[in-house]
């Protein structure tokens, strides 16, 4: 009877030992001095030490660890566990250096081994490799940092329209704290006039699987209006199932203002201005094209610019387009100079108009403005400099009228070129 019980106990013990030996986690058992007495198959693979070689070696030699970030050695806290009889783990960024020099992030649980009558005989270390998990966490952390530091407002919504995440740009762009938006439903925000109904339409489109990109005229919390450039798109899982909707919102009010100012400039220039897409199709023609070339602007929009360029110049323009296309769609030439030319024989308010134009160019393009008549860089906020510029212009203008013996300030319309000036002078104005 006793023999049968002993056999069962032995069989049960062997069963437990086999389970530990084949466990998916690495397991190492040491004595009270920290010397290895047992190591399972998984631990052998992770450390590069087999059981025969590892037995009797100190745990720090078999389970050699470092702090992956600081490169400092990290000692497995066997002594602390034996002294305090507590279960502990490893510090963050702990990496195992295997026998062949390979480094792997690991996590571990270190526990005292207690026999009968509370006798402590060693420690058991259960550890596993977490390299892939750490890499994923690092990627998530990097993405989180990028999103938080983005100049755009980033919103994440579930399919019911509840805002589950907002980065810290919500206050800057919309005037609302992120706490005022998170966990709010956009349908409720729309009813309370915090968001426009257009946002609802965009959300519903993205929730069905279609991305939306465009501009929306919106109102901030303080009542100020702004232009928002919105990119909304569905977030899908690997099986293509839509789980959420993301909004990336940028305030483009300054850009729109700049576009408006530049359009005012181009619309009022006497020079011919033509803007095309990358295929050479016309997208904008300045009004001067009507007066000088007699072109019907509406008829020319979306037509190829090559259709009415002088045949000898077509190759030059095509070469220019090729240069732009070969530089990834960006014409990498810095604007160094823009010439704003006007004659003293133009109407009385010409100087004021020119100064307004130059101020816009200076503000928007960051260019210095040189008054060629006064031979001085203009400082628009310096009254002395501006007075000198205006005085120089008036002196030149007065000399012009005195030279041709014509009434001062008698010209009421702009004269577009030297030839027209001479014609008017011959006719006696």
**pLDDT tens sequence across 87-137:** 999 888 999 999 999 999 999 999 998 887 778 889 999 999 999 989 888
**pLDDT band, residue 427 (cuts 50/70/90):** low
Q: 256-326 falls under which CATH superfamily?
A: PAS domain (3.30.450.20)
pLDDT 10s digits, 387-400: 888 888 888 777 77
pLDDT 10s digits, 248-304: 998 888 878 877 777 777 676 666 677 777 677 887 787 777 766 677 778 888 888
Residue 427: Cβ within 10 Å count: 7
Tokens of 155: 């919103």
CATH classification code of 19-130: 3.30.450.20
**pLDDT band, residue 4 (cuts 50/70/90):** very low
Q: What does the domain layout of the chain look like in residue ranges?
A: 19-130, 150-251, 256-326, 350-426
3-state secondary structure of 303: coil
CATH classification code of 150-251: 3.30.450.20
Ranges of beta strands (E only) in 53-119 are: 65-67, 73-74, 88-89, 94-97, 103-114
CATH fold match for the domains 19-130 and 256-326:
yes
Write the DSSP string, 112-126. EEE-GGG-EEEEEEE
pLDDT 10s digits, 271-287: 667 777 767 788 778 77
């Amino acid at each position: 009877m006793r023999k049968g019980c002993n056999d069962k106990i032995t069989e049960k013990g062997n069963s437990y030992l086999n389970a530990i030996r084949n466990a998916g986690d690495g397991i190492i058992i040491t004595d009270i001095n920290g010397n290895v007495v047992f190591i399972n198959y998984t631990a052998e693979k992770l450390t590069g030490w087999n059981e025969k070689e590892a037995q009797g070696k100190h745990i720090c030699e078999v389970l050699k660890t470092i702090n992956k970030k600081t490169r400092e050695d990290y000692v497995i806290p066997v002594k602390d566990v034996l002294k305090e009889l507590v279960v502990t783990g490893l510090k963050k960024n702990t990496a195992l250096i295997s026998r062949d020099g390979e480094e792997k992030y690991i996590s571990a649980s270190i526990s005292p081994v207690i026999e009968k009558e509370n006798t402590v005989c060693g420690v058991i270390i259960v550890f596993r490799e977490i390299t892939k998990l750490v890499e994923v966490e690092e990627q998530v952390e990097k993405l989180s940092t990028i999103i938080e530091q983005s100049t755009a407002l980033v919103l994440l919504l579930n399919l019911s329209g509840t805002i589950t995440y907002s980065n810290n740009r919500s206050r800057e762009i919309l005037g609302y704290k992120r706490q005022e938006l998170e966990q709010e439903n956009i349908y409720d925000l729309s009813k309370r006039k915090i968001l426009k109904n257009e946002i609802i339409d965009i959300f519903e489109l993205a929730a069905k699987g279609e991305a939306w990109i465009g501009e929306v005229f919106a109102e901030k919390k303080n009542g100020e209006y702004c232009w928002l450039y919105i990119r909304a798109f569905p977030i899908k899982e690997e099986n293509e199932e839509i789980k959420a909707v993301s909004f990336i919102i940028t305030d483009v009010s300054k850009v729109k203002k700049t576009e408006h100012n530049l359009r005012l400039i181009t619309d009022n220039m006497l020079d011919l201005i033509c803007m095309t897409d990358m295929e050479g199709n016309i997208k904008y023609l300045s009004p001067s094209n009507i007066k000088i070339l007699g072109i019907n602007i509406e008829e020319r929009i979306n037509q190829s610019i090559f259709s009415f360029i002088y045949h000898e110049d077509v190759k030059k323009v095509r070469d220019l387009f090729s240069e732009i296309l070969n530089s990834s769609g960006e014409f990498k030439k810095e604007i160094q100079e823009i010439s704003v030319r006007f004659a003293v024989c133009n109407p009385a308010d010409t100087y004021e108009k020119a100064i307004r134009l130059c101020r816009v160019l200076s503000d928007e393009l960051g260019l210095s403005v040189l008054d060629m008549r006064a031979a001085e860089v203009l400082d628009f906020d310096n009254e002395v400099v501006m007075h000198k510029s205006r005085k120089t212009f008036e002196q030149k203008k007065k000399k012009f009228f005195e030279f041709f013996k014509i009434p001062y300030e008698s010209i009421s319309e702009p004269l577009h070129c030297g030839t027209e000036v001479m014609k008017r002078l011959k006719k006696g104005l």
